[in-house]
């Protein structure tokens, strides 16, 4: 009998446990020998979450909560004093950490390997292709009733922010390595940062966290990996409360970009206008230019092509006046894309060549590859198939 199914489908009433569950140190809430796949357990949890986590009128915990508590009180957990804290920390990571990263992630814990083995032994963890994961029901219960220790939480937050900083490697020779790392970890990093923002931080705690939050958002913006909307929403609330208008403006702009990516055009317009207001209040002309560029791209999606070109041209002129030639070149690339969509491919070609040359000067290899990719699309529109294939192959080589 699968322990999870036997508890989750029990009718309300006195808790009945398998005989083997009464043995301290056994596996009351899960079993590595289960006939059910992890995906099945997660699906069952999602459909029965409300039922499973309720408290009966008599005050008795339902079977799931009782079995988790039994595991927490087992001899194995008692014999490993660091186990409860490590479990609480791992419950913050929905995708689990790579096993080999634990000593670097949590230097304050002395025996992460032995402690994680203990957690595996009582079925709190499962090994998912080298990652130590915790099932959602357990994560919810443990985080509510047994929050992580502050010292180790600081370690995890620092480690997460250090990984987020890898987004600064975009456009460099380390780009591919950074994407591989962040694409695997962005879900965990977002969860750790979201936990921080939900803790209602004080002003003196905000030095590094807004930057890390924007770096995660920038990664999603550039690669389409992850979903950081919940993170940005919570950060925006807290930044407004503490009066950090600069970070609030950045956060609002990224929210507009995320909404645009999700196809929520009208909400994106509101966010870009809101961000523009914050940037203007701060006399941040670079931020104002970014909002103009974003609005131009958005207007193009609404088939308002003339207005879109005018907005992007406005942004391009502003960036050029700040000597930000890389951003100006990206605007040129955006205009070329509008021309391509209007079947004005012959006009798009010189714009893409101009953009590519300026981006190449700045050393942004990924930006160069993006221009090549766009050029291939334009050349296809001109029926120059061999030239288009050449551009695609050159772009692929850079991306790889």
Q: Tokens standing for 200? A: 């209602």
Question: φ, ψ for residue 172 (rounded to 5)?
Answer: -110, 180
pLDDT of res. 151: 85
Residue 15 has a pLDDT of 31
Q: Can you give the three-state secondary structure of the chain, one letter per residue?
A: CCHHHHHHCCCCCCCCCCHHHHCCCCCCCCCCCCCCCHHHHHHHHHHHHHHHCCECCCCCECHHHHHHHHHHCCHHHHCCCCHHHHHHHHCCCCCCCEHHHHHHHCCCCCCHHHHHHHHHHCCCCEEECCEEECCHHHHHHHHHHCCCCHHHHHHHHHHHHHHHHHHHHCCCCCHHHHHHHHHHHHHHHHHHHHHHHHCCCCHHHCCCHHHHHHHHHHHHHHHCCCCCHHHHHHHHHHHHHHCCHHHHHHHHHHHHHHHHHCCCHHHHHHHHHHHHHHHHHCCCHHHHHHHHHHHHHHHHHCCCHHHHHHHHHHHHHHHHHCCCHHHHHHHHHHHHHHHHHCCCHHHHHHHHHHHHHHHHHCCCHHHHHHHHHHHHHHHHHCCCHHHHHHHHHHHHHHHC
* Segments making up each domain of the chain, as ranges: 3-145, 153-346, 347-400
Q: What would the pLDDT profile of 76-120 be if each residue is shown by its tens digit?
A: 888 888 999 999 999 999 999 999 999 999 999 888 988 999 999
Going by C-alpha positions, the residue among 212, 232, 209, 104 that lies closest to residue 166 is 212
Output the pLDDT for position 276.
97
Q: What angle do CA 41, 105, 149 make, to 5 degrees?
A: 75
d(CA 12, CA 231) in angstroms, rounded, equals 36
Angle at the Cα of 67 (from 66 to 72), degrees rounded to 5? 95
Tell me the C-alpha distance between 210 and 248, whole Å: 9
Can you list the residues of the chain whose pLDDT is less than 50? 1-28, 31-36, 41, 44, 47-61
**pTM, 2 dp:** 0.78
Query: Under a CB-based contact definition with an 8 Å cutoff, are residues 106 and 112 in contact?
Result: yes
CA distance readout (Å), 225 to 173, 383, 390: 20, 33, 27
As a whole number of angstroms, the distance between CA 301 and CA 303 comes to 5
Closest listed residue to residue 93, CA positions, set 34, 41, 155: 155
Which CATH class, in words, describes the domain spanning 153-346?
mainly alpha
Task: Name the one residue in this structure whose structure tokens are 């590859």.
Answer: 369
Q: What is the pLDDT of residue 39?
A: 58
Please report the pLDDT score of residue 123 as a whole number.
87
Predicted pLDDT at 171: 67
């Amino acid at each position: 009998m699968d322990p999870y199914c036997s508890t989750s489908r029990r009718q309300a009433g006195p808790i009945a446990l398998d005989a083997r569950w009464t043995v301290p140190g056994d596996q009351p809430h899960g079993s590595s020998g289960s006939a059910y796949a992890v995906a099945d357990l997660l699906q069952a949890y999602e459909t029965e979450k409300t039922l499973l986590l309720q408290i009966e009128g008599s005050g008795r915990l339902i079977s799931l909560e009782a079995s988790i508590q039994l595991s927490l009180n087992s001899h194995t957990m008692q014999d490993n004093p660091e186990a409860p804290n490590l479990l609480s920390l791992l419950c913050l990571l929905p995708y689990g950490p790579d096993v080999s990263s634990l000593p670097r992630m949590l230097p304050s814990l002395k025996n992460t390997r032995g402690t994680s083995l203990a957690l595996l032994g009582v079925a709190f963890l499962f090994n998912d292709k080298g990652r130590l994961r915790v099932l959602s029901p357990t994560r919810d219960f443990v985080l509510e009733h047994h929050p992580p220790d502050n010292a180790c939480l600081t370690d995890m937050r620092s480690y997460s922010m250090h990984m987020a900083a890898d987004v600064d490697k975009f456009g460099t020779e380390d780009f591919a390595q950074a994407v591989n790392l962040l694409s695997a970890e962005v879900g965990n990093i977002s969860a750790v940062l979201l936990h921080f923002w939900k803790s209602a931080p004080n002003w003196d705690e905000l030095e590094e966290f807004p930057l890390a939050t924007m770096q995660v958002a920038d990664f999603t913006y550039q690669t389409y990996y992850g979903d950081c909307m919940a993170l940005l929403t919570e950060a925006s609330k807290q930044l407004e409360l503490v009066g950090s208008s600069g970070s609030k403006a950045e956060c609002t702009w990224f929210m507009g970009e995320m909404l645009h990516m999700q196809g929520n055009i009208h909400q994106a317009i509101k966010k870009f206008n809101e961000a523009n207001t914050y940037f203007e209040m701060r006399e941040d002309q670079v931020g104002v230019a970014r909002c103009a560029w974003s609005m131009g791209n958005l207007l193009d999606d609404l088939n308002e092509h003339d207005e879109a070109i005018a907005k992007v041209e406005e942004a391009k002129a502003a960036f050029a006046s700040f000597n930000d030639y890389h951003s100006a070149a990206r605007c040129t690339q955006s205009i070329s894309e509008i021309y391509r969509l209007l079947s004005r491919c012959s006009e798009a070609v010189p714009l893409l060549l101009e953009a590519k040359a300026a981006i190449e000067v700045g050393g942004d290899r990924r930006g160069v590859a993006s221009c090549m990719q766009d050029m291939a699309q334009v050349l296809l529109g001109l029926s120059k198939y061999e030239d288009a294939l050449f551009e695609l192959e050159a772009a692929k080589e850079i991306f790889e």
